[in-house]
């Protein structure tokens, strides 16, 4: 399955990807597509965390969600999909509602990269605080709901984000922590549509998931 990858990068670079240990937090609209990119890009040492099971509301935007996976745990579905695509993958799963208190130096010490695609503001904030102190590489997804334009997504530092209510809330909670405010994030410059309920069209979270993994790959390979 690596033939097309090896037309773009060297065997040595592919081995770097294969040996990189990645923790992915969240298997929803953004995280599911990040997972898809990881398992199709040569990553073999992946841990995923998500407590939820699939329901019908997920069908419009979550790649692992189908009528056949409704009511199934997301982590179980992810494991089956990984094995169907690449049996070399050593996938570890944790079906858990991750809490702020879970994010400790010991919790993250076994990973080279952490991809945050969760919905919890306290968890996102604590990941940024702990990872920057531990010098563990982290990239976090900001909001993708109520938007139409995937081309307006960018990878930037948290401190440089704009037009994103979620990012603004996190910036406020990290005020004064200059290092954490430099955490790379995937954020849209699009002003979200103002409405009471969150709505999502799949191109935006799909693209955000791809951006997260693209950042990790390019960092491993030292590509600007």
Place of tokens 């954490």: 180
Check whether 97 has a pLDDT greater than 80: yes
Q: Phi, psi at residue 108, to the nearest 5°?
A: -100, 0
Q: Is residue 142 classed exposed, middle or buried when 0-12, 13-18 and 19+ CB atoms within 10 A define those classes?
A: buried
Contact indicator for 190, 164 with CB cutoff of 8 Å: no
Is pTM beyond 0.85? Reply is yes
The angle formed by the CA atoms of residues 145, 29 and 212, to the nearest 5 degrees, is: 95
Contacts of 137 (CB under 8 A, 6+ apart): 112, 113, 114, 131, 216, 219
Q: Per-residue pLDDT for 92 more than 80? A: yes
pLDDT at site 91: 97
Can you read off the two tokens belonging to residue 9?
A: 């990068």
Query: If you average pLDDT over every residue of the chain, what do you get?
Result: 97
Separation of alpha carbons 81 and 77, rounded Å: 6
pLDDT (tens digit, 9 = 90+) per residue, 98-128? Answer: 999 999 999 999 999 999 999 999 999 999 9
Positions of E strands within the chain: 21-25, 45-49, 90-94, 113-116, 137-141, 153-157, 184-188
Q: What is the domain range of residue 121? A: 3-220
Percent of all residues in the chain with a pLDDT value above 90, rounded to a whole number:
98
Q: What is the CATH number of the domain that holds 188?
A: 3.40.50.720
Read off the DSSP letter of residue 30.
H
What is the reported pLDDT for 202? 98
Alpha-carbon distance of 192 to 69, in angstroms, equals 30
Domain count, the chain: 1
**Which residues 6+ apart lie within 8 Å of 195 measured at CB?**
146
pLDDT of 224 higher than 70: no
pLDDT tens-digit series, residues 159-208 = 999 999 999 999 999 999 999 999 999 999 999 999 999 999 999 999 99
């Amino acid at each position: 399955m690596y033939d097309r990858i090896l037309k773009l990068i060297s065997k040595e670079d592919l081995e770097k990807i294969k040996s990189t240990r990645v923790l992915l937090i969240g298997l929803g609209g953004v995280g599911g597509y990040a997972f898809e990119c990881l398992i199709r890009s040569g990553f073999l040492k992946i841990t995923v965390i998500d407590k939820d099971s699939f329901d019908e509301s997920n069908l419009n935007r979550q790649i692992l969600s189908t009528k056949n996976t409704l009511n199934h745990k997301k982590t179980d579905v992810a494991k089956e999909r990984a094995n169907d695509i690449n049996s070399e993958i050593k996938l570890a799963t944790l079906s858990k509602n991750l809490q702020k208190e879970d994010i400790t130096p010991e919790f993250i010490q076994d990973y080279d990269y952490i991809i945050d695609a969760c919905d919890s503001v306290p968890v996102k904030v604590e990941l940024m605080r702990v990872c920057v102190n531990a010098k563990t590489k982290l990239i976090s997804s900001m909001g993708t709901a109520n938007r139409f334009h995937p081309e307006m997504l960018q990878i930037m530092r948290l401190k440089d984000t704009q037009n994103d209510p979620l990012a603004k809330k996190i910036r406020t909670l990290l005020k004064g922590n200059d290092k954490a405010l430099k955490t790379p994030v995937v954020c849209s410059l699009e002003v979200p549509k103002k409405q009471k309920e969150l709505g999502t069209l799949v191109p935006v979270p799909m693209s955000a998931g791809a951006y997260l993994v693209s950042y990790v790959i390019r960092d491993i390979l030292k590509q600007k």
